[in-house]
Structure formats: C-alpha cells, structure tokens
Amino acid sequence: MAPVERTDAQVVRDVLAGDRDAYRLLVRRYGDALHGHALRMSRNADEAADLVQRAFVQGFKRLHTCKDPDRVGAWLFRIAANLCKDHVRSRQRRRDVPLAPLADVVRGAADPEAEAQAAETRTRVWGALQALTPEQREAFVLKHVEGRSYEEIAAVMDLSVASLKMRVHRAREALKGLLQELA
Amino acid sequence: MKYDLHRHLDGELGTDALDPAARGEAEQWDRMVASFHREAPRGDAPVWLEQRVMAEIATLPERGPVRRALDWLTRPASVRLSPLAGALATAALVLAIVWMPNADETPIAPEADPVVYVQFVLEAPSATSVAVAGDFSDWEPAFALQDPDGDGVWSARVPVQPGVHAYMFLVNETSWQTDPNAGRYQDDGFGNRNAVLAVGASS
C-alpha cells in the first residue's frame, strides 16, 4: 500500500509539535513556486535562491502564527513576496539595479540585424519593468509575467480582486510612461 | 490608457470591441505581454535549497513544551460537525436566545444600511468624460460626473456608506487623477496619492 501523503495542515501540526524535520516537506512542495517568483522579481539566480532560503527560515520561525495551515503554501508565498519587494526596494535605493543579461533567451539569429533590434527592445522593456516600484512590479509580474488569474493572485496575496486590478492597472500606466521616457 | 484597454488586457473585452485607435495599442500590449510571458526567467529551486534551509533551522533553539502548548491554545482551529450535530447546535442556540429574559421588551427595528450622498466635483475644462472610482465602488469607475452647462466643472452625487474612503477620478477613460481639493490624501503604495474622504452617518 502506498504511504499516505501528509496534508499541509498535518505537516504544520507535526512541525509545531516538535517534528521539525517534517518542515522539509513544505520546502519540497513550495520551493519551486517561491523560487520562480523570486527569480522573476530579482532576475538574479543567486539572489533568488538566497531570498527563498530566508523566506523558508522566516516561515519556520513564525509558523505558529499561520492562521490557515491548509493554505500554508500561500502563506509562505506571501513571506517570500514581501522579502522580494524589500529586496527590490533596497536595491533601487542603492541605485545598483543590474540589468541581468537575457541569457535565458536563446534563439537562432536568422536575421542578425532584426535579432539585435529585438534584443535591444527586450532589454529596454525589461529595464522599464525593473524601474517600477516594488509593489507595481510585483502586481505586474504576477499578472503578466507569471500569467496568473486575478482570482489566483488575490487568493495568494490575500487581497480583493478589485484592489488587485487597480494595482495592475496602475503598474501598466507606469510601465507605459517609463517606456515612453526610454523611447 | 483607456479603461477599455485595461479591460482588454484583463481578458474582459475582445480586441473587436475596442475602437480602432485603441486596437493598435492593444496589439502592441498583447505582443509585449506575450514576450514577457515567453522570456520570463524560469528555473526550479536549486537542489541545495532544502539542505540549507534544514541546516539553518537545526541551529534555531527549540520551542519549549509550555510555549508549544500556549501556541496550540491560541491558534485558531476549525471545528467539524455533522449536519445533524450542526442542526442540533443551531436549534439549541436559537432556543437559548428565545428564552433569554429580556428586561427591555421594546422591539428594535433593524437598522437599514445608512447611505450618505456625497457631491464629487472636479474642474477639468478639457475633459470629455470624468468618472469617480473608489473603494466604495470596488475601484470601478462606476459613477460618471456630468458637466451639463459645459463650463468644465464636472460633478455627481454619489451614494457612499459612512466611513473613510479612498477615491480617484478617471478622466477621459485614460488618466487617473487625484482630487486636488480633497482635504486628505494617502499613499497607495505605488507612488500615487489617493484622495481620502471621511463620511459621517447622516442624522
């Protein structure tokens, strides 16, 4: 008989009861999701991994404050998302926003000139995205880069769909303004 | 950006429903959004993540039994009831309320939700449309302001429940503007300022 997998709520209960090794199950279940978001917010693999590690450790320390253990994944995501925003904010304050090379975009250059122009456009657009405020960037990344639905984001971020839409709308307005400035 | 364009990007409006001028911009946005989605950095968590998290956790002091017991007592918990037990519990509660001695027998009429009509005014001589949106309308620009005499002063009376509300004006369906005459403002966390309105209950 296959072993029955523990639910998130059971894992949380076990960890709080002293079985701290059970916490690794949450790291396995949600590590990729948190890391993907951190990577898209920071565009830096080392920073993303560091942020996710900090999020999980912080989550462990505050696990007793998680009100809905069935949704501990969303709760951990919020911790990671807040760390990402703080990180972006401090990086912008230091004005050392690195434009990470788009090394992940690899494609054949059938027309080198067109490809160079497309690469320049991509750099400009991603640069504008980096210049948004952390909150605007988070809203835009969740909606348009990660391609999540409003309902999904609202549930994860504990926001109403209406206020979330407002955030995304304002992020688009800001991005459009930045792109016009950079043009 | 026109509000309809946002609705299109939110998946609520097809390209065909947009006016020709907005259609070109919509296509540009669609291309950009598709490229964001396509070129977003991807990657699973590094294999060492679990090991490092667990190693760091191992260095943290253990929570003692007293602290754990206190956590358990103060943590919210859901209670599961069968439909029969739920019905019995509800019936018992209703009976307890009905039989509760009441010193004041005067019936109390249920209070209707109070609504106060607030006059919103914006001077915008070059505007072709003005609407107000706020937390009282779920941030939908649901209330259109009117300028019947064409003097550039737009206004509308809007029903609002008592309380403190944030709001903005949407001018020409494209531009969000803060009310310059609001007494209070609050940062919306995105670099913009919302106007704030405090509405008292009408007597």
CA dist A169 and A139 (Å) reads 9
Check CB contact under 8 Å for B53 and A27.
yes
Return the pLDDT at B127.
Answer: 84
Asked whether residue A55 carries a pLDDT value surpassing 90, the answer given is yes
Q: Which residues of A touch B135 (CB under 8 A)?
A: 163
Asked whether residue A80 carries a pLDDT value surpassing 80, the answer given is yes
Instruction: Quickly state the pLDDT bin for A20 (edges 50, 70, 90).
Output: very high
Q: Got the DSSP string for B136-198?
A: GGTT---EEEB-TT-SSEEEEEEEE-SEEEEEEEEETTTEEE--TT-SEEEE-SSS-EEEEEE
Minimal Cα–Cα distance from B90 to chain A, Å? 25
Check CB contact under 8 Å for B42 and A160.
no
Alpha helices of chain A — where are they, by DSSP H? 8-16, 23-42, 45-61, 72-93, 112-131, 134-140, 150-157, 161-182
Q: Looking at the complex, does the CB of residue B71 fall below 8 Å from at least one CB of chain A?
A: yes
Structure tokens at A32: 């990729």
Chains A, B: CB contacts under 8 A, how many? 130
Q: Is B13 exposed, middle or buried (0-12, 13-18, 19+ CB in 10 A)?
A: middle
**pLDDT tens digit sequence for A5-16:** 899 999 999 999
Return the pLDDT at B50.
Answer: 94
Return the pLDDT at B202.
Answer: 58
**pLDDT tens digit sequence for B123-164:** 888 888 899 988 888 788 888 898 888 888 889 888 888 888
Return the pLDDT at A116.
Answer: 75
Asked whether residue A77 carries a pLDDT value surpassing 70, the answer given is yes
Q: Which residue of A has its CA nearest to B78?
A: A68
**pLDDT tens digit sequence for A133-168:** 888 889 999 999 888 999 999 888 878 888 889 889
Q: Looking at the complex, does the CB of residue A163 fall below 8 Å from at least one CB of chain B?
A: yes
CA dist A82 and A55 (Å) reads 9
Count of CB atoms situated within 10 Å of the CB of A59: 25
Return the pLDDT at A72.
Answer: 95
CA dist A112 and B43 (Å) reads 28
Return the pLDDT at B93.
Answer: 81
Q: Judged by CB atoms within 8 Å, which residues 95-154 of B form the interface with A?
A: 135, 138-140
Return the pLDDT at A15.
Answer: 95
Return the pLDDT at A22.
Answer: 96
Q: Identify the segments of chain B with pLDDT beneath 70.
A: 63-65, 67-68, 70-80, 100-113, 189-191, 201-203
CA B69 to chain centre: 37
The HSE-up count of residue B101 (CA atoms within 13 Å, CB side) is 1
Question: B162 near B107, Cβ under 8 Å?
Answer: no
Return the pLDDT at A73.
Answer: 94
Mean pLDDT of chain A: 84
Check CB contact under 8 Å for A135 and B140.
no
Q: Which residues of A touch B131 (CB under 8 A)?
A: none
Return the pLDDT at A106.
Answer: 33
Count of CB atoms situated within 10 Å of the CB of A2: 4
Return the pLDDT at B71.
Answer: 65
CA dist B95 and B78 (Å) reads 24
CA dist B183 and B121 (Å) reads 13
Q: Looking at the complex, does the CB of residue A35 fall below 8 Å from at least one CB of chain B?
A: yes
Q: For chain B, give the percent of residues with pLDDT over 90.
A: 7
Greater model confidence, A18 or B35 = A18
Return the pLDDT at B52.
Answer: 94
Q: Which of B134, B154, B124 is nearest to B194 (CA)?
A: B134
- What is the arithmetic mean of pLDDT over A113-120? 73
CA dist A100 and A119 (Å) reads 13
